[in-house]
Structure 1
């Protein structure tokens, strides 16, 4: 995996995470805010879409049938004409009273877009490289954006780390995207069923975090690249432990968890075994986790593949995250943001992913039901925090709040100006 990152004090992320917990009641992602996309040319795609919609109570009119290749990778032309165009038209033709906040792609919808030759005069975007290969889902997040540069990545305006930035993208044109996919239709049905069953009983088990080095002694030490994400695994473990949600096991040795080391795994974050899943885990129903490495969602169907997303799904995990191509390390959701925010219980899986994902028009994919809420909020009266519309408060993209910390007597808007994005500088401009 490549790294391109500048230093950032790791505790800045912890301060920002605390802002999320100050949100006032709103509402979490609802079933009638979801649009489901199925491929009529792929066996089982429409059937799985209808099964998901029936189980979640998603209106039947929120199904979009596309007709495109059933292969895992499509061309840029196929994406534009056979995926983006029909989805965009379906969204634009919905009644004005219908609010769609999330798209769900179903088994059979291509996973990734192959890189295409760019005109010689093409200017790379300020962030990212010249390749225009990307995850289908990451591009669909921008389906309501009329035009944007294809080369490289674009900063996600919802990412908690970019709230001090003036983004190229408008937040009201960015959608959440999740994917119900896997090696076979039975796995997809299990993902749907496991999410619903776990919401009823609550996610229980052990949280495993697999770092490689001890946490630096100084909490203000500036870190970058691999060290930043390794420390983020430590911080995630600390936050989950402090939450009291479940037992936490943190490993800080070079060796990864080995077979038999991780029974009853409910949460997992770790690194680095490139394209080689280590069968160390017995996943509980509803488990959520991801492995930070470059190739872990390059395929979900290749039979002999050992990439982590595919193998975790085969072994029983309910939700995971991974890249379809080299993403660079700073494209992953920082573990210390993703896991504690999910464990707070206020946001769904899809909402948690959206606010912790640094880049769009890029390589990352969320596999799992975006409506999934594996934890119930501690304070039931505050269940269902949500994202506000643009302009609702001074901290754009955060859950609804007056943007003021009464306890600390410090305006949250001021904290939002911290230079969070120092850790997410652009990689060099070269084509793959």
Structure 2
């Protein structure tokens, strides 16, 4: 048999394999939308060698497109940027941001504040005093709060922003490595909801019991009354309220872990007597959050643990889950590895004429079931299913042999 005939036969067999109806139903795609590297803009201060080094390491580690590397220049080393200096930076960033970019990562630790706003909120919304407060007052709300939007700039005209902040380039690289290592790991850790004797800062604790009852089917959740956890080997979530958290280094944080403490100045990264959120990252967490200006103890100015956990467990990235959990983030700094995504992925079991889809947690809503005679399509809608909050498994019974896709209904 000559080579040309062999090549033709191989092509024919490939064509038949692609277009033949399978003997069992096959799922070709399950929609689990989340931000990607192609949608993240990385802002680098070319006058800060540490920022340049962190940005380059992150670009390589995450495969950030070269066009998404956004270069600015300003004197490094100051905690606060004036609103006038920020306005000039914002114009440069706006002009250089590709249309596909939906979120930003900052590659410096200083500055972490713009006048009265956190720098992450300023880049997300633009500088606006309505996101600040003088005294114990609410601020402008975050329209992205608890949103189902997968493309925040298109849906809300804002780009959630997270700082890859660290005390050194080496610490930043370790943070980036932990975030990347978490992707799809689906860890079996524990969420620790820590209730402290600090009444002024323990204001999230009244919601812990309801959160534990709701979340336990999807993730192990414990309420602990203590000033600080010690010797825990499986920390995936850690929420508490206190000015300083003892015992951090005795615990093991799993890749992609989220941890924060409700207090007045955790986002003041380099010290005012309260614990900086950088201590969480140094202990092994992938993300944290802290205030840069006195927020008072408004729970709405801090992450809502139930929302952080729900969005993260549904397969969203760290930046999405965290930003969707804070109702009034203008005074709060988001720090961490934005693209960490430990709970991505859906397990598919097709047998006995049915399909079972399993995930750590499905996003609630209406899903469109589409079928096609070949992997290439054409696909048509054959059913719709409504997924309730807390669902971990979808079972489609008595499904005809075909190729299927499952996607959130518009």
Local SS of the residue matching 1:269: strand
Q: Are 2:106 and 1:105 aligned? A: yes
* Structure-2 change in CA distance of 1:331 and 1:379 (3 Å): farther
* Structure-2 change in CA distance of 1:209 and 1:386 (3 Å): closer
Structure 1 residue corresponding to 2:344, chosen from 376, 397, 403: 376
* Structure-2 change in CA distance of 1:151 and 1:201 (3 Å): closer
Structure 1: runs of 5+ lacking an equivalent: 1-23, 115-132, 164-168, 214-224, 388-397, 409-432
Pairing 1:68-147 to 2, within 5 Å after superposition: 68-70=74-76, 71-81=78-88, 83-91=89-97, 94=98, 98-114=99-115, 133-143=116-126
Could you tell me how far apart the structure 1 residues matched to 2:366 and 2:64 are?
A: 24
Could you tell me how far apart the structure 1 residues matched to 2:238 and 2:331 are?
A: 21
Structure 2: runs of 5+ lacking an equivalent: 1-29, 134-138, 349-356, 369-383, 389-410
Residue in 2 that maps onto 1:230: 205
Local SS of the residue matching 2:252: strand
Structure 1 residue corresponding to 2:44, chosen from 30, 33, 38: 38
Shift of 1:46: 1.1
Q: Are 2:148 and 1:175 aligned? A: no
* Structure-2 change in CA distance of 1:385 and 1:67 (3 Å): farther
Residue in 2 that maps onto 1:357: 326
Q: Is the 8 A contact 1:347 1:385 kept in 2?
A: no
Pairing 1:19-418 to 2, within 5 Å after superposition: 25=31, 27-70=33-76, 71-81=78-88, 83-91=89-97, 94=98, 98-114=99-115, 133-143=116-126, 149=130, 152=133, 153-160=139-146, 171-212=155-196, 229-243=204-218, 245=219, 247-251=220-224, 253=225, 255-257=226-228, 260-271=230-241, 273-274=242-243, 276-280=244-248, 281-286=250-255, 287-299=257-269, 301-302=270-271, 307-328=275-296, 329=298, 330-344=300-314, 346-360=315-329, 362-379=330-347, 406=386
The TM-score with structure 2 as length reference comes to 0.68
Local SS of the residue matching 2:71: strand
Q: Is the 8 A contact 1:40 1:66 kept in 2?
A: yes
Larger radius of gyration: 2
Local SS of the residue matching 1:80: helix
Could you tell me how far apart the structure 2 residues matched to 1:31 and 1:386 are?
A: 23
Shift of 1:32: 0.6
Could you tell me how far apart the structure 2 residues matched to 1:407 and 1:108 are?
A: 41
The structure with higher relative contact order (CA 8 Å, sep 6+) is: 1
Shift of 1:84: 1.6
* Structure-2 change in CA distance of 1:76 and 1:407 (3 Å): closer
Structure whose residues are more often strand by fraction: 2
Q: Is the 8 A contact 2:239 2:259 kept in 1?
A: yes
Q: Is the 8 A contact 2:32 2:345 kept in 1?
A: no
* Structure-2 change in CA distance of 1:32 and 1:235 (3 Å): same
Local SS of the residue matching 1:294: coil
Q: Is the 8 A contact 2:367 2:386 kept in 1?
A: no
Per-residue CA deviation, residues 369-398 of structure 1 (Å, 9 max, x unaligned), is 2211122345566989999xxxxxxxxxx9
Local SS of the residue matching 1:367: strand
Could you tell me how far apart the structure 1 residues matched to 2:52 and 2:366 are?
A: 35
